[in-house]
Structure 1
Amino acid sequence: MGWNEFLFLLTGLKWTVALSAIGFVGGGLFGLGVALLRTSGIAPAERVTAGYIALFQGTPLLMQLFVVYYGLALIGLKLDAWVAVAIGFTLHASAYLGEIWRGSIEAVPKGQTEAAKALSLHYVSRMKDVILPQAIRISLPATIGFLVQLIKGTSLAAIVGFTELTRAGNIVSNQIFQPLLVFGIVGILYFLLCWPLSLYGSHLERRMAIASR
């Protein structure tokens, strides 16, 4: 295990971070739309988004990546592995974050909405200035917890040939025939990436528990 092999693992780590960031940010943007539609009171929109969430929560992430990468190729839409996994993780994250944020919006006391309506605030202002700031605070521990899961889930991108940290570890292991050493280092890198986020999520959860007493 030389310096070049370690640098290759760090390159894989870089792509893991990039893929996690794209999936989380893109999923957050789409997830916000899903959450708003789920709580809009418009029956067709609520049913469609409920089905969307059920589809992605009820099927394995690995299958979703397969469908995006190989399924679209069958209908003539051949995507680069990087683009395919970015789309797959964005769709996956949007369903989970949409449901997390839907629950957070509904957890805001109904009196807040009624007070905003009494002040004649229209829907956009009511959500932007009253409901969402409180909902985001409520959702932070669960959102950070999902981000940790998303980072670890990026290892599945290796199945379609995308070289992130896990695939980089597999390549190095096949070259130097030291799988325990290589994947020990890979595990440590994942731990160093996820552990601070887990601690921060736990810290936020404790703070919210104290504030709610």
Structure 2
Amino acid sequence: MNDFTTWDVFRNLLYAVPWTIYLSLIAFAGGASVSLLLLVLRLFFPRFAAGPIRVYVQVFQGTPLLMQLFLVYFGLALVGFQTSPLVAASLCLSVYSSAYLTETWYGCVLAVPRGQWEASSSVGLHRWHQLRLVILPQALRLSVPPTIGLMVQIVKNTSLASIVGFVELTRASQVIANATFQPFVAYGAVALIYFVICFSISLGGRWLERRLVV
């Protein structure tokens, strides 16, 4: 006899929500840090950095995240580095998101009219000050919608971490479905939770975009 109620399913799934959010924040912070570094290198040293950065972006955009996760989790073990599911998932999601953020932010910088560079140069600003004081604030406003979209994708991609045993929402729903024999309730509940998280991020992005425009 099944004694689990729908509330029991929701209650146990809610315990996994902080881990999904935690992994998402690590992935976005790591990806953003790498992307900023690559963006600066691409803008200030295009002759030497543009080619390798393009290869980096194409490799990680052109291969499935699931395969990258397998290669890191099992590959590091082969060379003597035992890693946890959290570390492997954080590393893969950070690198994966950095590949997309690098191209997104570079495109936003290029979208700033060339006249802004010329005008800031005419008043004697050094290239670094041009970028920091004139170009990046404008590029920031342009980058909000695609960056928020990528954040939503990161949240949903954390579900792949369940493959290597990291207990986030998807993995928790699998365990609960097997324990309660209510897969429709478990997976339906986790889909609803993902929607609430992603919709909240989208609303926050719209609010931020309006503030930056003003």
**TM-score normalised by L of structure 2:** 0.90
Pairing of 1:1-213 with structure 2 (within 5 A): 1-2=4-5, 5-201=9-205
C-alpha displacement at 1:200, in angstroms? Answer: 4.7
**Cα deviations by residue, 1:89-128 (Å, 9 ceiling, x for unpaired):** 1111111111100000000111111122222222221111
How far, CA to CA, are the matches of 2:23 and 2:152 in structure 1? 13
Please, which moves more after superposition, 32-41 or 111-120? 32-41
Query: What is the letter of the counterpart of residue 164 of structure 2?
Result: V
**Two-structure CA RMSD over aligned residues (Å):** 1.9
How far, CA to CA, are the matches of 2:121 and 2:65 in structure 1? 40
How far, CA to CA, are the matches of 2:180 and 2:89 in structure 1? 28
How far, CA to CA, are the matches of 1:14 and 1:93 in structure 2? 20
Query: What is the letter of the counterpart of residue 76 of structure 2?
Result: L
Identity of aligned residues (%): 46
**Cα deviations by residue, 1:133-178 (Å, 9 ceiling, x for unpaired):** 1111101000001111111111001011101100000000000110
Query: What is the letter of the counterpart of residue 151 of structure 2?
Result: L
C-alpha displacement at 1:74, in angstroms? Answer: 1.0
**Cα deviations by residue, 1:1-53 (Å, 9 ceiling, x for unpaired):** 34554333112111111111111111111111122223335222011111111
How far, CA to CA, are the matches of 1:129 and 1:159 in structure 2? 44
Secondary structure of 2:44's match? coil
Contact 1:38 1:49 in 2 (8 A): yes
Query: What is the letter of the counterpart of residue 199 of structure 2?
Result: W
Count of residues paired in the alignment:
208
Secondary structure of 2:166's match? coil
How far, CA to CA, are the matches of 1:5 and 1:181 in structure 2? 8
| Structure 1 residues without counterparts, runs of 5 or longer | none
